[in-house]
Structures are given as structure tokens and as C-alpha cells.
């Protein structure tokens, strides 16, 4: 380690971001690149600990993620940044992560929660360093297409072009197979393109990587849904193997009185239409669900709900409130959430900071359960009713929500966005391929093996594990590619 005492000498320094109020006037990314001397100091804070939990990549029951799911060689590239060896740092980063420019922007950084420095101080800025390493690589022209020197003659279809599908395609192409990626939308990228607002992950960042993948020989087919536009039988006959990376796209609904009213939408429909219109015409075509001048209620306290806030602020909403059925998180780790578990603590996301800057307060409201929606004479939603609830957890982990009498409240709302998670993958391709599913309706395929009950068909990402992080999707896409390669060739050199 170049600076063994760096973690004692330097404090954590986060990248500067544009003012929350000012940045809501555009859809541009707002993180400002840090100068190299500051970045090298941040790299020096990595303490060369004996057991780097940051790169562990595992889970514990009830705790979520511990460390980096793609097993990034974090201490190695932290040290290389400190020593100014940026190209070598990039090489280490690409050994484990095909798309660090994506995770460096949208990953919640479970690695930082497991950083040894975080036991008694602020963790190393791992996510920021990852972001700066890959951006330096693009700026210097180090990231270029590297097509395989020879082809195996085997053809693989990847269904779905989100992070799992792209990672699988990249790895299989590297092994020399001829890879075709099918996407039902008009653009490649899946969740990366249409599920995350452009301000968090700009489309040109996705396109930048896609250009390289195309130059490496991967074929992309858009506007094509397997089982509808392209028969499953043809998929099986045209390809030697198939990897399904279709995501968990069935949204969970809120079934209460008045659900049929106009103005109540699933969050992903809202986000997808917004980005599609933005990219097609900068919203000039009007083909999106506008929040302008409306009282917005976002039901759901997660990242997708925060993305709805980010979008609604930029539309010019009259007001925004995000409902969370749970209590506010503690400012400090609870005893049940010790290091190196991912820290479940209260924090203001960028979306919440923007809403506070525009409307004057944190947009979140807690311990609320929606009891009904109420509309006007034209069938448009005009308000929703709530009651406070107390949540208790039984010994088996089941959550019990108990309404608190006398806490009823009416909220004005002309646009309600449902962001309460997903229930699993869509059934069409599952039924047509006669795939087995687990008790949660996900495609049944063992982690680490990824093989379904149909020979030559593998599943990876959210359609196998359920709704999860982009970095877990990349992990599963890479590993499924390895198992697919082993199926096709009898052995695999893929990691």
C-alpha cells in the first residue's frame, strides 16, 4: 500500500454536485469531476486491511448485500489511483465489471457500507473512484472495442438488453460466440435506458458503451418481443443456447377503492414515457405523463419512487409527496444492522434534496397506508385518503400493519404514481418455453448455475432472483454467460 496512514491523514471528500435548485432546470447529469490530487488522496484512504469486506460480494439473511456483488478488486485500484496509475486501475476495474460507468452512477455502493474504515469513520469513496476511473478511461481513449480473434461457430440469443443481458452478451462475445440481443423496446438498454431518469444515467453514456459492444460484434435487434414478434420455436432452432434476462417487470398494484380513476399510473410507465419523449423530441411530442402544475403523490419509499420525484420536479409539479409505509430510518446503525452489513440508515437522496430545494421541505411522509382514491365528476383522481399504521414484525419475519384510529387524512392529488415494487417476470415467454418457476413466480434456476429446466436455456438477473440492484444483474449476467459457455464448449475460461 502506497500510503498506509492515509485513512488517518485524509477525510472523506465527496464529488461536488450542482446546486439542487439550479440543476432541476435541466436533464443533464450534475456530478462534477474532481481534480486528480483530491482523487489520489481519496484513494490513499484505503487502508490495505487484512480482509477487504468491500469486495466480498455476498448476502446474509435479513441484511441484504455485503460488499461488491461483482467482486471488484477495490483495494488494488484504490492504491493505483493513489499512485497515479489510472490505466492500470482501469484494467483492474474491467476485470470484474463490464460497465463501471453504470454502477459508478446508480449503484447504492454496498461496498462502502462494508469498508473497514467505516467501522469508526466515513468509508472510502469507492463509488466515486470507480466513476472517475472509467470516465478517465473514456477521456484518454483507453476504452476501445476489442473483438475476439476467432469465433466458435456457436450462436447465442440473449433476451433482454438490461444490465444482466448486456453483461451476458459482452462475456459470451468475448468467448468467441456469435451473440444476438433481442429487445422489445425501440432502444437498447432496458432498465438502464427507460427505467432510470436521464439525469441519473444519461442515454449518451449507455450509447457510448453500446457502440463499443456493436464494434466488438454483438448484434442488437430492437422492437422484437420473443413469443410475439419472434416465435419461441424459431429462437430454439436459430440458436445453440438462450439466456433470458427479461427482468422483473410486473408492477405490484395498490388495490383500494377508486383504483380505476384516471391519473393513477405505475411508476415505470411514467418514467418510461418521460425518457422516451425526452430522447425523441425533448418532450415536444407531448407523449408522456406530465406532472406540470399538479399535486403529485408517489406511493412507495424506494429508489423508483425517488426517480419519480426527480422527474416530477423537472416537469414543474405543484407539490410532491412520497409515501413510505415504514417508520423513518435511524440516523445511526441499529444493533441488528452491524458492520459489514449494508447500512440501513436515514439519508437524503439527490431527489429529496431537489424537492426540498424547490418546495421547502423533505417530500417524504411516513407510516401511511392508502385507504381509497377519490375522483371528480369526469373520472379524474382529485384526492386520496390515508391512515397512519404501526408496523410490527413477527418472529417469522412477517410484517403486520395495524391502522391507528383517528389518524385519517385527505391529500389533494391529480397524479398518483405507484412505486411499490414488482411481483416478478411477465408470463408470456415463461409459458411458451414451458419454464419452471419458483414460489415467487421467478424463473427457477439455481444461483451459480443459472440453468432452467429447458436444456440450453439459462436465466439471469431480476427474472431469476427478483427485483434487485444493477450490480447484481451484472454479476448474474457474467456468471450465466460462463455457465452457458461451459454448456456449449464443455469448459469455460470466463470468470
Closest CA to 169 of 158, 155, 184: 158
Exposed e or buried b per residue across 381-411, where buried means at least 16 C-beta atoms within 10 angstroms of its C-beta: bbbbbbbbbeeeeeeeeeeeeeeeeeeeeeb
| Distance in angstroms between the alpha carbons of the first and the last residue of the chain | 26
The backbone region for 296, taken as left when phi is positive above 0, alpha when psi lies in -120 to 50, beta otherwise, is beta
Q: CATH topology of 155-249+423-489 equal to that of 253-420? A: yes
Class of domain 6-140: mainly alpha
DSSP letters for 126-184:
HHHHHHHHHHHHHHHT-------SS--S-EEEEE--SHHHHHHHHHHHHTT-EEEEE-S
Q: Contact at 8 Å (CB) between 307 and 196? A: yes
Q: What pLDDT sits at residue 1?
A: 64
pLDDT in 10s for each residue of the chain, 495 residues: 678 899 999 999 999 999 999 999 999 999 999 999 999 999 999 987 888 999 988 877 655 679 999 999 999 999 999 999 999 999 999 999 999 999 999 999 999 999 999 999 999 999 999 999 999 999 999 999 999 999 999 999 999 999 999 999 999 999 999 999 999 999 999 999 999 999 999 999 999 999 999 999 999 999 999 999 999 999 999 999 999 999 999 999 999 999 999 999 999 999 999 999 999 999 999 999 999 999 999 999 999 999 999 999 999 999 999 999 999 999 998 988 889 998 999 999 999 999 999 999 999 999 999 999 999 999 999 999 999 999 998 888 789 999 999 999 999 999 999 999 999 999 999 999 999 999 999 999 999 999 999 999 999 999 999 999 999 999 999 999 999 999 999 999 999
**Segments making up each domain of the chain, as ranges:** 6-140, 155-249+423-489, 253-420
Q: What pLDDT sits at residue 62?
A: 57
What distance in Å separates the CA atoms of residue 467 and residue 471, rounded to the nearest whole number?
12
Q: Contact at 8 Å (CB) between 386 and 394? A: no
DSSP 42: H
Q: Does domain 155-249+423-489 have CATH number 3.40.50.970?
A: no
Q: What pLDDT sits at residue 131?
A: 98
Q: Contact at 8 Å (CB) between 277 and 285? A: yes
Cβ contacts of 205-213, under 8 Å, gap ≥ 24: 205/101, 205/102, 205/105, 206/102, 208/101, 208/138, 209/99, 209/101, 209/102, 209/166, 212/143, 212/144, 212/145, 213/166, 213/169, 213/170, 213/173
Closest CA to 417 of 283, 315, 282: 315
User: What would the CATH number be for the domain defined by 253-420?
Assistant: 3.50.50.60
How many of the other CB atoms lie within 10 Å of CB of 436? 11
Amino acid at each position: 500500500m502506497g500510503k498506509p496512514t492515509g485513512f488517518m491523514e485524509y477525510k472523506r471528500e465527496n464529488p461536488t454536485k450542482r446546486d439542487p435548485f439550479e440543476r432541476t432546470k435541466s436533464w443533464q447529469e450534475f456530478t462534477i469531476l474532481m481534480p486528480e490530487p483530491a482523487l489520489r488522496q481519496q484513494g490513499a484512504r484505503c487502508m490495505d486491511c487484512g480482509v477487504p469486506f468491500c469486495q466480498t460480494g455476498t448476502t446474509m439473511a435479513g441484511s441484504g448485500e455485503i460488499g461488491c456483488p461483482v467482486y471488484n478488486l477495490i483495494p488494488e485500484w484504490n492504491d493505483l489511483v493513489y499512485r497515479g496509475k489510472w490505466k492500470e486501475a482501469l484494467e483492474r476495474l474491467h476485470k470484474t465489471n463490464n460497465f463501471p460507468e453504470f454502477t459508478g452512477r446508480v449503484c447504492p455502493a454496498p461496498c462502502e457500507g462494508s469498508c473497514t474504515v467505516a467501522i469508526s469513520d466515513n468509508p472510502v469513496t469507492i463509488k466515486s473512484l470507480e466513476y472517475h476511473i472509467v470516465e478517465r478511461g473514456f477521456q484518454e481513449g483507453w476504452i476501445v472495442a476489442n473483438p475476439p480473434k476467432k469465433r466458435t461457430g456457436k450462436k447465442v440469443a440473449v433476451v433482454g438488453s438490461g444490465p444482466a443481458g448486456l453483461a451476458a452478451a459482452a462475456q459470451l462475445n468475448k468467448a468467441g460466440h456469435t451473440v444476438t440481443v433481442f429487445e422489445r423496446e425501440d432502444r437498447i438498454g432496458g432498465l438502464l435506458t427507460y427505467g432510470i431518469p436521464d439525469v441519473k444515467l444519461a442515454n449518451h453514456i449507455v450509447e457510448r458503451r453500446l457502440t463499443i459492444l456493436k464494434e466488438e460484434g454483438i448484434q442488437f435487434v430492437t422492437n422484437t418481443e420473443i413469443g410475439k414478434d419472434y416465435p419461441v420455436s424459431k429462437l430454439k432452432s436459430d440458436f445453440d443456447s438462450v439466456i433470458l434476462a427479461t427482468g422483473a417487470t410486473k408492477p405490484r398494484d395498490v388495490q383500494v377503492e377508486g383504483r380505476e380513476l384516471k391519473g393513477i399510473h405505475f411508476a415505470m410507465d411514467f418514467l418510461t414515457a418521460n425518457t422516451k419523449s425526452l430522447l425523441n423530441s425533448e418532450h415536444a411530442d407531448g407523449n408522456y405523463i406530465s406532472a406540470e402544475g399538479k399535486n403529485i403523490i408517489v406511493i412507495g419509499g424506494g429508489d423508483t419512487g425517488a426517480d419519480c420525484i426527480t422527474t416530477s420536479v423537472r416537469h414543474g409539479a405543484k407539490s410532491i409527496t412520497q409515501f413510505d409505509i415504514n417508520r423513518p430510518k435511524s440516523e445511526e446503525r441499529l444493533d441488528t444492522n452491524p458492520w459489514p452489513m449494508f447500512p440501513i440508515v436515514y439519508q437524503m437522496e439527490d431527489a429529496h434534496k431537489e424537492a426540498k430545494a424547490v418546495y421547502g421541505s423533505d417530500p417524504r411522509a411516513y407510516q401511511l397506508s392508502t385507504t381509497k382514491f377519490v375522483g371528480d365528476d369526469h373520472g379524474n383522481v382529485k384526492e386520496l385518503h390515508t391512515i397512519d399504521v404501526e408496523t410490527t414484525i413477527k418472529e417469522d419475519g412477517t410484517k403486520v400493519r395495524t391502522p391507528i384510529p383517528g389518524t385519517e387524512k385527505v391529500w389533494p392529488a391529480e397524479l398518483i404514481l405507484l412505486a411499490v415494487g414488482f411481483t416478478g417476470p411477465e408470463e408470456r415467454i415463461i409459458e411458451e418455453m414451458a419454464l419452471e418457476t419458483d414460489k415467487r413466480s421467478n424463473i427457477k434456476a439455481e444461483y451459480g448455475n443459472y440453468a432452467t429446466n429447458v436444456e440450453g436455456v439459462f436465466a439471469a438477473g431480476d427474472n431469476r432472483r427478483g427485483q434487485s440492484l444493477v450490480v447484481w444483474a451484472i454479476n448474474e449476467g457474467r456468471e450465466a454467460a460462463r455457465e452457458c459457455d461451459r454448456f456449449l464448449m464443455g469448459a469455460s475460461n470466463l470468470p
